[in-house]
Amino acid sequence: MLGTAIGFVMVLVFTGAIAALVLSLALPNKAILRDAIGELRCLSGYPLTGSTCAQDQIRQADAATAAANRQRAAAEAARQAAEDALVSGDLEFAQGPELKYGVSLVVGTIYQDAVTQSGLVRSFCWAIVDSGGLDPRVGVATRDATGAITVLDLSDTDLALLELDAGEVSAALASCPWPGGTT
């Protein structure tokens, strides 16, 4: 069986080499053959160095990396802002509904003037697990001053801590007690 497979591959390579030789002799313009080989290499994922195909692949990879880095930086900035607000005690909290026994929603809001609760800066919606004084929080979403809500990605560990599935958490987002209601 292995011998048959090797023989088949050898026949294919030999046939391809003969076809390439015949084409190179039959075509007076070798650029057509060179372009065809370049396109075949591009389609197979092994572009020629310096070809436009290779440059396009590099540009696409760079764009995807840049987009992922921007998204990661935005998520990190939102997480850091929430941590900073928690540490400084500048959050005004609103208790939301209980999702299930021992898990409820809470929104913490940062205002420019905390006394009059004016000039909303950002709000954070957390699912809080009541576990006898520890009360771990899982960030669910953030809302900026314009009312735009950003849903945060939850890890499998977060979902296990809440003992909820992703669908239940998504449905719970409508219950976050945002200041002034949802937009």
Residue at 44: amino acid letter: S
Domain coordinates of the chain in residue numbers? Answer: 2-66, 79-175
Q: Let me know: does 40 contact 47? Beta carbons within 8 Å.
A: no
pLDDT at 69 over 80: yes
Based on its alpha-carbon atoms, the radius of gyration of the chain, rounded to whole angstroms, reads 29
Q: So what's the pLDDT on residue 85?
A: 61
Q: Which residue type occupies 72?
A: R
> In the prediction, which pLDDT does 183 show?
42
Q: How far apart are CA 5 and CA 141, in angstroms?
A: 56
Q: pLDDT digit string (tens) for 110-160? A: 887 767 777 778 888 888 887 776 667 888 888 888 888 888 888 888 888
Residue range 89-102, pLDDT digits in tens? 567 888 888 888 88
- 109 bridge partner residues: 92, 123
Q: Using N-to-C axis directions, what is the helix angle for 2-26 and 30-44, rounded to 10°? A: 150
Top pLDDT among 46 and 103 is at 103
| Low-confidence winner among 76-80, 149-153, 168-172 (lowest mean pLDDT) | 76-80
